[in-house]
Amino acid sequence: MAADKSQASTTTMAQYNTPATVRSAYNLPSTGGSGAIALIDAYHYPTALADFNTFAKQYGLPQETSTVATSSSNKVFQLVYATGRQPMSGGNFISSWNLEEALDTQWAHALAPNAKIYVVEAASDSTTDLYTAVQVASTLPGVKEISMSWGGSETQQEANWYDAYFTTYGIVYLAAGGDVSADVEYPSTSKNVVSCGGTTINRSSTGVFVSETGWTDTGCGPSLYESRPSYQNSISSIVGAKRGVNDISFLADPNSGVYVYDSTPYWGEEGWWIVGGTSLATPSVAGVLNLAATASTGFAASTAIEQSRIYGNLGNASVFRDITSGTDGKYKCTVGWDFVTGLGSPVGLSGK
């Protein structure tokens, strides 16, 4: 398995997107959220808590007052080792996962500031270790959403061997659609997850939001092996007999990306980064769903129930912004549901 992300080098904080500009683009409140969101990542990120608090302080978000990242009494941020032992750390390969973890935790927090953030660190990025981390996350107190910003090639056995990992009562599971054009990957193709595609936010020279288009590198398309779930029956003429990916889209293009703070050196660089990818879209959508459930509809008892709720709003412009321009090179964004952006991007909190 591999993390899905794109990143630029460290830069000055003079452009790109902040929590405030992203909230403005999607008509989201600056406060809210409840329960907990769990993020699944690999290896150990030594500066996770300090970097989380640096980001939170910069943008006026709640900070974790505890200095012990793994304490179960933490209110805002808690690090969990999936095997009970601290995973290995160090080196550029592992540090790329550290940047992934920074992105996941900081942006789930940015969009649902009052939800507790768990990050569950798998012993490695092997399939076995990552799914062990999913199992652990599914048992943590208060978890309402689990975000997985990684994926790998589909296999004929995926539905029988792995889909059951995403069925714990009371939790909605989300997965990144991927960052390779016209490519589909698991677990985004599972019927038991919300698959998150990517967009580009377009702004005027003065920074005013103008439009949103499909991101050219979004992974999407019909699954090779997973059959069409019932919540996609309304789009059967598009997806056919197979599960179609994606379901919801969100900002992913690193050229209109977001700020993340990571002080663990990665190729000799540390500090503020501009990042993107469906790795950004996935924890962000998890934050939006958490906000929405807290504000009105209540938390879904399963991913299938959440999917039925959101697919029931197909074509509702007050719930989803229909992305009608852009392409990943194979699939085009069109009126209504499309592979690149699914139902579209979330607008406000209703209907989710």
* CATH code (residue 31): 3.40.50.200
Strands in 64-168 per DSSP E: 77-81, 116-122, 143-148, 150-151
Query: Cβ atoms within 10 A of the Cβ of 204, count?
Result: 8
Q: How many residues are given for the chain?
A: 352
What confidence score (pLDDT) does residue 10 get? 46
Tell whether 352 is covered by a domain.
Answer: no
Q: Which of 339, 120, 109, 103 is CA-nearest to residue 214?
A: 339
Tens digit of pLDDT at every position of the chain (352 positions): 556 555 444 444 445 899 999 999 999 999 999 999 999 999 999 999 999 999 999 999 999 999 999 999 999 999 999 999 999 987 777 888 999 999 999 999 999 999 999 999 999 999 999 999 999 999 999 999 999 999 999 999 999 999 999 999 999 999 999 999 989 999 999 999 999 999 999 988 788 889 999 999 999 999 999 999 999 999 999 999 999 999 999 999 999 999 999 999 888 889 999 999 999 999 999 999 999 999 987 999 999 999 999 999 999 999 999 999 999 999 999 999 999 999 999 999 999 9
What confidence score (pLDDT) does residue 6 get? 52
Tell whether 181 is covered by a domain.
Answer: yes
Q: How far is CA 219 from each of CA 3, 196, 215, rounded to the nearest angstrom?
A: 13, 9, 9
What confidence score (pLDDT) does residue 338 get? 98
Tell whether 351 is covered by a domain.
Answer: no
How many separate domains does the chain show? 1
Tell whether 151 is covered by a domain.
Answer: yes
Q: Which of 228, 173, 231, 175 is CA-nearest to residue 198?
A: 175
If you search the block for the tokens 């690090």, which residue do you land on?
A: 79
The SS3 assignment for 65 reads coil
Domain that holds residue 58: 2-346
Nearest-angstrom CA–CA distance, 342 and 352? 14
If you search the block for the tokens 């460290």, which residue do you land on?
A: 10
Distance of CA 235 to the CA centre of its chain: 24
Question: Which token pair is 218?
Answer: 């979004």
What confidence score (pLDDT) does residue 68 get? 98
DSSP 213: E
The SS3 assignment for 100 reads helix
Question: Which token pair is 255?
Answer: 């050229």
The widest CA-to-CA distance across the chain, in whole angstroms, is: 54
Please, are residues 105 and 118 in contact by the beta-carbon 8 Å criterion? no
Nearest-angstrom CA–CA distance, 48 and 94? 13
Tell whether 290 is covered by a domain.
Answer: yes
Please, are residues 212 and 342 in contact by the beta-carbon 8 Å criterion? no
Tell whether 56 is covered by a domain.
Answer: yes
Tell whether 242 is covered by a domain.
Answer: yes
Tell whether 118 is covered by a domain.
Answer: yes
